[in-house]
Chains A and B, each alone.
Chain A
Amino acid sequence: MLLQLLRFFKGYVRFRAKGRSPERFINLTAQNGISLWDAQPVAGGIEACMTVRDYRIIMKTARRASVTTRITKKRGVPFLAAKYRGRIGIPVGAALGIVLLIVLSRFIWTIDINGTENLSEARLRTLLSESGVKIGADKYYIDTDKVKRDILLEVEELSWLSVNIYGCHADVEFKEKTKKPELDETDSPCNLKATQDGVITGITAGEGKPQVKVGSGVAKGDLLVSGVTLTKDNKIRCVRARGEVCADIISEKEIKLPKTYIYNSISENKSDRFRLSFLGAQLPCSLSFRFFDNEVYTRSESFLNVGGKALPLGFVTETAHEVTSVELRTDREQARKVFNKSLMLFEVFEKAEAKIVSKDYKISETPGSYVCEAKLVFNENIAEPVDFSAEE
């Protein structure tokens, strides 16, 4: 294969030698150090291959052997070069292609991140980018050891990482730390204390001695279920108090809503700007002279995908949408709806585990706003395990 490639680059001819003594011709060429290959007997002579350079000097040998030679095929780079000699674009294009290939092979084209389970890939990509491992980075300037050190110092959750650069592709392998198991402290003795002020509505004690009764009021921090109990022999026994103590809790909330407000909305006026993105660099492809006083942007990217890998070549479209601002006035009915929704969100998100017992609110007006004063009663578990203090 290598020999064939070498012969192709040097250029060779297949020729036919006819005459009285083709064998003598073979011997003379061999004696003169000229290599022949693929020699084949044909009627009245032989056919063989020889490099162009050797063919130019065998004329004398052919005359001595009384044979005449005729080229039947020409192969190789010198013949191709001669064929396209007048077309300067081809060699220039080929040279530019080779230069482009050499230059572009210096850069990172794709990055793969493997091994992340809990860590955000976007965060790791940002960290890698800050350390120099990004699309379009010159791979010869990437210090993989420094990248490793920097990222391991930055991200505590990582135990190991490896940056491997294969050609124009960077493969980054991560290994996260194994989480420390939580210690089981469920056996240590403790009391149950109130987390909020409220009126007790129900007690379900598993272990320990209840210190409150249904209907009694408690303040935050009061003892609900004691972990100190007495045995039949009147001996003190410390246990881990368990149970649920439900209480009605009053929650007061004040919400304000201005009577007038600025409402921003996106109008139908928009302006698109296209950019060609290549190896992280962006080249504007369209001109847009339409600007708005207030605008928001949306950005979409579409990259060339080859074999499941996105190459850093594609289009970025940036669309500017005009934002119009209108001053709106809120009436009492609208304010009531807004307050209702706010209270509903409060119930759902801030008191997710509590049951609502009653909800009462009144809306008042001030010169510039509506004010909602809400009084909500929730029923929820207020018991919280608290370890024994030194005094206890």
Chain B
Amino acid sequence: MANNRSRFSNSPRMDMGFAPLIEAVGNRQVTVEGSAGVLLYENESIKLSVGRMVIAFCGRGLRLRCISGSCVEITGFISKIEFLC
């Protein structure tokens, strides 16, 4: 039993249960599921709060195409993605 528990606690699925799901189409479109909110919204930079960290998207002509409860879709020319912990 103890052996089983240790095996589950070490599995990547358990550790990443609250992690955001990021889906990118080239560098033109990114969909982030699990976003807790927008911290900064500018043409060159968008920062999203995702639980314990912040994801920063840098680029040109960045736009929030669609925002719903926990999903954000960003379009534009993305040159850099930073994970700020």
Contacts and interface: CB of A to CB of B under 8 A. Distances in A.
Interface of A: 22-23, 26-27, 29-31, 33, 35-41, 46
B12 to A, nearest CB: 29
A26 B64 contact: yes
Contact of A39 (B64, B69, B70): B64
B38 A27 contact: yes
A39 B63 contact: yes
B68 A46 contact: no
The residue among A22, A30, A39 with the most chain B CB atoms within 10 A of its own CB is: A30
A65 to B, nearest CB: 11
B38 A26 contact: yes
A35 B67 contact: yes
Contact of B69 (A31, A38, A46): A31
Looking at chain B's contact residues, is the secondary structure mostly helix, strand, loop, or mixed?
strand
B38 A36 contact: no
A35 B66 CA distance: 7
A30 B41 contact: no
Nearest to A42: B43
A23 B67 contact: no
B42 interface: yes
A41 B41 contact: yes
Interface in B59-74: 63-70
A46 B65 CA distance: 12
A38 B65 contact: yes
Given A30-B68, A33-B68, A38-B63, 16 more contacts: A23-B38, A23-B39, A23-B41, A27-B38, A30-B70, A33-B69, A35-B66, A35-B67, A36-B66, A36-B67, A37-B67, A39-B63, A39-B65, A39-B67, A41-B42, A41-B43
Contact of A37 (B38, B40, B65, B70): B65
26 contacts: A23-B40, A23-B41, A26-B64, A26-B67, A27-B37, A29-B67, A30-B68, A30-B69, A30-B70, A31-B37, A33-B68, A35-B66, A35-B67, A35-B68, A36-B67, A37-B65, A37-B66, A38-B63, A39-B41, A39-B64, A40-B63, A41-B41, A41-B42, A41-B43, A41-B63, A46-B41
A2 to B, nearest CB: 15
Contact of A22 (B37, B41, B68): B41
Contacts of B40: 23
Nearest to A26: B38
A35 B43 CA distance: 21
Interface in B37-54: 37-43
B63 A30 contact: no
A36 B68 CA distance: 7
A220 B4 CA distance: 120
A254 B70 CA distance: 109
A300 to B, nearest CB: 63
A40 B41 CA distance: 9
Contacts of A29: 67
A30 B66 contact: no
Nearest to B39: A23
Contacts of B38: 23, 26-27
Top 8 A-B residue pairs of the complex, sorted by shortest distance between their CB atoms:
A27-B37, A39-B64, A23-B38, A36-B67, A26-B38, A30-B67, A37-B66, A23-B41
A35 B37 CA distance: 14
A40 B66 CA distance: 11
